[in-house]
Structures are given as C-alpha cells and as structure tokens.
Amino acid sequence: MTGYAVRNLKEIEDSAVKFGLSPRMESRFARSDLGAETLGLSYQRLAPNVRQPFGHRHEQQEEVYVVLSGGGRATLGDDVVELRPWDAVRVAPETLRAFEAGPDGLELLAFGAHTDAGDVETVEGFWAG
C-alpha cells in the first residue's frame, strides 16, 4: 500500500441516488475510496433552492464545511446563518445541522473524523427558521 491516494470526488458513487434524493442533491463520501483511516471527507451539492430534508448531529465527530460555490443558509441548532463561497463552518458534534441552497445552488466539502456509523443521528424535517 502506498502512503497516498488520489481520487476524483465527482467519480465516487453518488449516495443521493440510492436514497432517492437525486438530482436535487448529490452526496459523495470519499473516505473508503481514499483509503482514509482517521478522517472523513464528502462532497455535497444541493440544486438551486433545495433544502436538505433532514438534519443530523454526531455523538463524537466535529465537522467543518467549506462552501465551494453558490450559497444559501445553514441551520445550526437554533441559529440560521447565511453562507457564501469560501465560508468555512465548524460544527460541534452535538449541534443539529442542515443546509439550504440559494438560487445558485450550494456546493460544499465536509471534513470530519472517521467514527463508527452509529455516531450519527438524523432528524427528519429539521429546520430552525
């Protein structure tokens, strides 16, 4: 095994398809494809004016989201914040979060630590404001 891996994020399986969320959403989780042992990375895209149908939080995993293009809003616990390109948002594990795209869509990367699948809790229909 080499000490590095190179993968094109847009060539990794789009998980949104198997959950019936495509084409309004795109979700590509790169940890396994990169052979990462201690970190998680995902590419997320929301079509214009689309709101994620659920929020989520973690038991242990802190995450950072970086807006690549477009813009919109994030609901973080009881707060709603505006997002624009190159904004970085750190979210504590216990903070419930969800994203909504503006008229130009929302494209972002999410970074976190690799934890067990049981670390995540989803909440359907969550939106603070």
Q: What is the CATH number of the domain that holds 25?
A: 2.60.120.10
With a CB cutoff of 8 Å and minimum separation 6, the contacts of 127 are: 51, 55, 75, 98, 100
In this predicted structure, which of 30-34, 48-52, 56-60, 116-120 has the lowest mean pLDDT? 116-120
User: Looking at per-residue confidence, does 65 or 113 come out higher?
Assistant: 65
Cα separation values, 18 from 26, 58, 109, 111, Å: 11, 22, 20, 22
Strand duo 120-124 + 54-58: pairing = antiparallel
pLDDT at 1 exceeding the cut of 70: no
Asked whether residue 4 is assigned to any structural domain, the reply reads: no
Q: Is residue 43 part of a domain?
A: yes
Residue span of the structural domain in which 25 resides: 11-116
Query: What six digits make up the tokens of 78?
Result: 């009881």
Which percentage of the chain shows pLDDT scores above 90? 74
How high is the pLDDT of residue 114? 75
Name the band, by pLDDT with cuts 50, 70 and 90, for residue 113: confident
**Residue 58 in contact with residue 93, Cβ under 8 Å?**
yes
Total domains in the fold of the chain: 1
The DSSP symbol for 18 reads: H
Least confident of 20-24, 91-95, 124-128: 124-128
